């Protein structure tokens, strides 16, 4: 009953279930690109076509309860992997739900018809919707099947499961690009802002940092800092040490935005200005 109520609540929020524990949800920037010609920053940084990108996850559970997260973590954490979703079905259902959702844009007066035509072919999977995707036991199989379809994969991880990334490397299943959320420069600050549920969270995270250095020549590696004013925009030298250890291809610093459940934990005082983000960078 609890799972059914959670699914209903998530569906009301726009999530489309693509399996028992897999979901997709059309991204704001996909809609924006179709109607306003304004794509996601990833278009400029990484050449992702927002109108052809599907945002999804094969797992909704997350071991961190980050203060700045705009996702409904408590509800998502009720969705368990009692039955493991099939990778082919996840892919097919994600594409099906994406095309079904964007079909409604056909009558929009602001629609870019050429981009709408392109959007009928999905080119990118952003495996980052919610939850921690590296917990999905068939993640490598999912990624390989995407690549066989000429669909690129962009995986976001909190770094709490380094063994899953090691498995991707050993089975030649690394994604096109992998992001690691670098939310804090020290163990104490990580505990304060990420609210990890695993006791050895810092050891796990730093192991993933070292793994990034190991795989950097086999995939595009990105460290991503969500900058929260008065919380984690500090200890620059400690950040620098972690960045040096990972030696990523890219470093992203983006400002926290007060959205979703984060409004219960943070305020507008935690939203940095662009000037403050640049100074921190």
Residue 184 has pLDDT above 80, yes or no: yes
Residue 1 binned pLDDT confidence (cut-offs 50, 70, 90): low
Among 4-8, 30-34, 145-149, the range of highest mean pLDDT: 145-149
Is the predicted pLDDT of residue 270 greater than 90, yes or no?
Answer: yes
pTM: 0.95
88-129 confidence digits (pLDDT tens) = 999 999 999 999 999 988 888 889 999 999 999 999 999 999
3-state secondary structure of 197: coil
* 114 class by beta-carbon count within 10 Å (0-12 exposed, 13-18 middle, 19+ buried): exposed
* Nearest one of 205, 189, 199, 201 to 245, comparing CA atoms: 205
**How much is the pLDDT for 60?**
95
pLDDT higher than threshold 80 for residue 25? yes
pLDDT score at 37: 87
Average pLDDT over residues 224-238: 97
pLDDT surpassing 80 at residue 179: yes
pLDDT at residue 2 is higher than 80: no
Predicted local distance difference test score (pLDDT) of residue 68: 96
pLDDT band at 3 (very low <50, low <70, confident <90, very high): confident
Does residue 255 contact residue 70 with C-beta atoms inside 8 Å?
no
Would you say how long the chain is, in residues?
Answer: 281
pLDDT at 186 over 80: yes
Asked whether the predicted pLDDT for residue 246 surpasses 90, the reply is yes
Which of these ranges, 35-44, 164-173, 237-246, 251-260, has the smallest mean pLDDT?
35-44
- In the predicted model, what is the mean pLDDT of residues 23-40? 93
- Those residues whose C-beta lies under 8 Å from the C-beta of residue 246, and which sit 6 or more positions away, are 180, 209, 210, 212, 213, 216, 221, 223
The mean predicted confidence, pLDDT, of the chain is 95
Average pLDDT for 215-219: 96
In the chain, helix, strand, coil percent, each to 5?
45, 15, 40
HEC readout, 149-196: CCCEEEEEECCCCHHHHHHHHHCCCCCCEEEEECCCCCHHHHHHHHCE
């Amino acid at each position: 009953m609890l799972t059914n109520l959670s699914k209903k609540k998530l569906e009301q929020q726009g999530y489309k279930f693509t399996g028992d524990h897999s979901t997709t949800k059309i991204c704001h920037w996909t809609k924006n690109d179709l109607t306003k010609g304004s794509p996601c920053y990833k278009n400029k940084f990484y050449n992702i076509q927002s109108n052809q990108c599907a945002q999804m996850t094969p797992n909704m559970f997350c071991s961190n309860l980050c203060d700045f997260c705009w996702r409904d973590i408590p509800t998502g954490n009720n969705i368990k992997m009692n039955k493991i979703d099939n990778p082919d079905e996840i892919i097919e259902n994600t594409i099906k739900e994406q095309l079904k959702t964007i079909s409604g844009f056909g009558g929009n007066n602001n629609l870019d018809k050429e981009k709408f035509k392109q959007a009928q072919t999905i080119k990118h999977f952003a495996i980052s919707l919610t939850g921690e995707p590296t917990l999905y036991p068939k993640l490598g199989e999912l990624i390989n099947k995407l690549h066989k379809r000429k669909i690129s994969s962009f995986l976001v991880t909190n770094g709490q499961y380094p063994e899953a990334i090691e498995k991707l490397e050993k089975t030649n299943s690394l994604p096109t690009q992998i992001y690691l959320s670098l939310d804090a420069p020290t163990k104490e600050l990580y505990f304060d802002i990420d609210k990890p549920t695993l006791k050895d969270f810092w050891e796990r995270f730093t192991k993933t940092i070292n793994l990034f250095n190991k795989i950097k020549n086999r995939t595009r590696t990105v460290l991503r800092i969500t900058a929260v004013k008065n919380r984690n925009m500090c200890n620059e030298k400690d950040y620098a040490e972690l960045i040096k250890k990972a030696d990523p291809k890219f470093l992203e610093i983006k400002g926290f935005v007060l959205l979703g459940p984060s409004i219960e934990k943070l305020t507008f005082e935690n939203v940095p200005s662009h000037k403050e983000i640049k100074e921190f960078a």
